[in-house]
Amino acid sequence: MHPAFSVIFLTTLIGVGQGLFLALFTVESYAAFDLLPPQDSRFYALGSAVALGFLVAGLIASFFHLGHPERAWRSAAKWRTSWLSREVIVLPAFMGTVFLYGAAHFSGFNPALATLPTGAPVTLTAMLGVAGTVLAFALFVCTAMIYACLRFLREWHTPLTVINYTLLGGASGFVLATALAALAAPEVTRFFAGWAMILTLLAFIGRAASLLRNARLKPKSTLRTAIGVKHPRIVQKAQGAMGGSFNTREFFHGRTAAFLRQVKWMFLLMAFLLPLGLLAGGAATGAVALLLAAFVVQYCGLLAERWFFFAQANHPQNLYYQAVS
């Protein structure tokens, strides 16, 4: 498939926002049960503002993929059957929840709405955090299922697509949370760093599993089955047209196999291996620069990973439309 950069930025940016929100609420939940020192509300407000910024940036990026942006509202109409429509509904709901969560912390309006049997209060931000967590995971599922539900694209049609979208978004969010904590909440920096390394390692395992799976896939369709000719030697010279078309632009990346191999090794290094080293060094020394570098390097690696994810999917129409005369 042809990787659209608007979709690449959409999926990676909102993934960071989702992961960062989950990281913030994780620390607040631990602190509520005295497992971590409580943090100032301004830290949660700052983190929520950053998370919302990434979500808004992802939403803006999505509009560049639309032929008629003024009709974008119609994309939510088929929510009963379309994962894209569900994503369009869940994303603004999640953004609204993140905004309310950050606003509650920023304003200091955080009343106790109930009390647990242990005596711990259930605050407004705790309720918003639970709702945001549910919406964050729902958004991961909706975004990934847009691709995983396509049976004819076998590289995507696997539970690993949903798993990897969730782990990659969670890892990038926790890495960014580690850098923010180093600046505004040093007491929880190592906690964030530990979870960031765990999620990055799990994401590496999940992505490596998908690469190994896809490498073993054998095409169900060939030139012989496509045209109904059983001759053992069929060679397609061209698609029969002198120039490019919608089919050659939208369903094939136009790059060589060697280029794809380079992108693969680059994102494995930048999205997983280098960030792990930078996180370990930053957590050990408390160097904010190393933790910020870990996020920047990992995000650049995720851009390459998402490009490869789209490019690796081999649409069956490429049996006919992959080269021009």
Question: How far is Cα of residue 154 from the mean position of the Cα atoms in its chain?
Answer: 20
> What is the per-residue pLDDT for 65?
79
Residue 325, Cβ neighbours under 10 Å: how many? 9
User: Tens digit of pLDDT for each residue in 11-53?
Assistant: 999 999 999 999 999 999 999 888 999 999 999 999 999 999 9
Of 85, 93, 172, residue with least CA distance to 131:
93
Please tell me the pTM assigned to this model. 0.92
Please say whether the beta carbons of 29 and 121 come within 8 A: no
255-269 burial: b if 16+ Cβ within 10 Å, else e: eeeeeeeebbebbbe
DSSP string, 39-87: --HHHHHHHHHHHHHHHHHHHHHHHTT-S-GGGGGGGGTTTTT-HHHHH
CA distance linking residue 147 with residue 161, whole number of Å: 8
The pLDDT score that the predictor gives to residue 238 is: 66
Residue with tokens 């996020």: 295
In the chain, the domains with their CATH numbers are 5-217+226-319 (1.20.1630.10)
User: Which of the residues in the chain have pLDDT under 70?
Assistant: 237-244, 322-325
Unique residue bearing structure tokens 């919406």: 135
Tens of pLDDT along 244-278? 677 777 788 878 889 999 999 999 999 999 999 99
